[in-house]
Amino acid sequence: SKNVAKDGNGELTIGGLTVSQIADEVGTAAYVLDEDDLRQRARDYASAFDGWGVYYAGKSLLCKAVARWVTEEGLGLDVCTGGELAVALAAGVDPARIGLHGNNKSVEEITRALEVGVGRIIVDSDDEITRLIELSEQLDKHPRLMVRVTTGVEAHTHEYISTAHEDQKFGFSIAGGQAAAALRRIHDHPRLQLVGIHSHIGSQIFDADGFEVATRRTLRLHAAFAEETGVELPELDLGGGFGIAYTSQDTPSTPQQLAEALNKIIAAECATLGVAVPHLSIEPGRSISGPSAFALYTVGTVKQVLLDGGASRLYVAVDGGMSDNIRTALYAAEYSATLASRRSDAGPALSRVVGKHCEGGDILVRDEFLPSDIRPGDLIAVPGAGAYSRSMASNYNHVPRPPMVSVRDGRISTLIRRESIDDLLALDVG
């Protein structure tokens, strides 16, 4: 990220502090976030997508400070549970700037959203529409709704984070006609305000084609609805999913490039269809929070393992693992790692960074070349830990979750404190 560099001693620094200073103050494992960098990424989206609504996807990383920062930079907030909504409200985010997602929102979650008046609820099923009608009648509300659609696009990413092909749980199918029926049902109901269509095709996507196809298909649905009812819906949301670089092989687009490509397609498609360009919005999460933090670990053990053919690999075990970053184990995600606390002139050794959990799949970085003199006590940094790391952390093996700290102008602030064994024991009331 922006303020991260190596100093004269080969030590990694962030915002003027060395990683050793940070480790001394907050311990490891820890997530270390560059506040300026995250704010800058939020601003870059706001300015590249000028005139659009930009909703930061809180599922990638959410705490009160981050909610405040992104909204201060002009963004709205996408939440997908009552828990995320509670964080946003605790941070003082204006409910009108919040969108609520979820394929199985509970009565409590919908009730809370209606009571506080979230700006939009993205509807995902007929059962949810029924529930919304009942609850908005009880509470005398007129919620603003968007319809999540399935565009049938095959996004080129891991199956578990791909959401626009037909055979998955999210959305109303355009091809199957359910999307048009849901739009009609909401439109015809006097209590419900239909504001538009929503599409999210998946996550960590580099290829612009999927976004282009999804955009065309949603616009055609938008135009067909206008044709049928005489009403052009005011809004269209294209979701998030813009990929980031975890390794040097990844080549993400800039927000500017994405905005130019999308604006061009939308202008052309709307002209062809004879409809006005609706108010557009997106929901980037990873591409704002991801690159802004690295995970900092201390090496505990180093083991050399002989491989077939005479080669060998160093298993470098750190004081964290799949409980603070499940992505490698779950999606075969690729990460890089770097020796952060000192310079080394030792040659590169094929290495695997592993955690302290009781299973072989507990891998943080599958393949990396680390200096062959890597040893216990060294600090290791894993970049790209801002998104879907803390937010997906678990307590597997009763390992307390690491803190999220931010650094700005040489000062460390704790955003989320380190969990303690006592925190965990406090839940164990049997």
Can you say which residues are annotated as belonging to the binding site for substrate? Answer: 286, 327, 331, 359, 388
Q: What is the DSSP string of 102-129?
A: -SS--HHHHHHHHHHT-SEEEE--HHHH
Size of the chain, expressed as the number of residues it contains: 430
Q: Does 109 bind ligand LLP (CB under 6 A)?
A: no
Q: Does 284 bind ligand LLP (CB under 6 A)?
A: yes
Considering only CA atoms, which of 36, 21, 78, 67 is closest in space to residue 293? 36
> Which range touches ligand LLP (CB under 6 A), out of 129-137, 282-290, 303-311, 420-428?
282-290
80 is catalytic: no
Quote the DSSP letter at residue 73: T
Among 269, 283, 362, 368, binds ligand LLP (CB under 6 A): 283
Among 144, 327, 352, 356, binds ligand LLP (CB under 6 A): 327
Q: Dihedral of CA 205/209/210/212: which sign? A: positive
Q: Which residues contact 154 (CB under 8 A, 6 or more apart)?
A: 162, 164, 165, 210
What stretch of H or E contains 176? none
Query: Of residues 63, 80, 270, 358, which has the active-site annotation?
Result: 358
Strands 98-100 and 338-339, by their bridges, are: unpaired
Q: How far is the CB of 284 from ligand LLP (least distance, A)?
A: 5
- Does residue 205 contact residue 157 with C-beta atoms inside 8 Å? yes
- Does residue 383 contact residue 294 with C-beta atoms inside 8 Å? yes
Contacts of ligand LLP in 287-316 (CB under 6 A): 287
Q: Does 63 bind ligand LLP (CB under 6 A)?
A: no
Site string for ligand LLP, 388-407 (x = CB under 6 A): x---x---------------
Cα(178)–Cα(87) distance, integer angstroms: 33
Q: Does 196 bind ligand LLP (CB under 6 A)?
A: no
Binding region for pyridoxal 5'-phosphate? 241, 283-286, 388
Site string for ligand LLP, 347-386 (x = CB under 6 A): ----------------------------------------
Among 285, 321, 371, 403, binds ligand LLP (CB under 6 A): 285
| Token pair belonging to 313 | 């690999």
Site string for ligand LLP, 123-142 (x = CB under 6 A): --------------------
Q: Does 161 bind ligand LLP (CB under 6 A)?
A: yes
Binding region? 241, 283-286, 327, 331, 359, 388
Dihedral Cα 42, 47, 53, 58, nearest 10 deg: -10
Q: Does 150 bind ligand LLP (CB under 6 A)?
A: no
> Which range touches ligand LLP (CB under 6 A), out of 64-72, 238-246, 254-262, 353-361?
238-246
| Token pair belonging to 14 | 């962030």
| Token pair belonging to 231 | 């009403």
- Does residue 292 contact residue 272 with C-beta atoms inside 8 Å? no
Applying CB under 6 A, which residues contact ligand LLP? Answer: 57, 59-60, 78, 101, 161, 200, 203-204, 239-242, 283-287, 327, 331, 388, 392
Residues carrying an active site annotation: 358
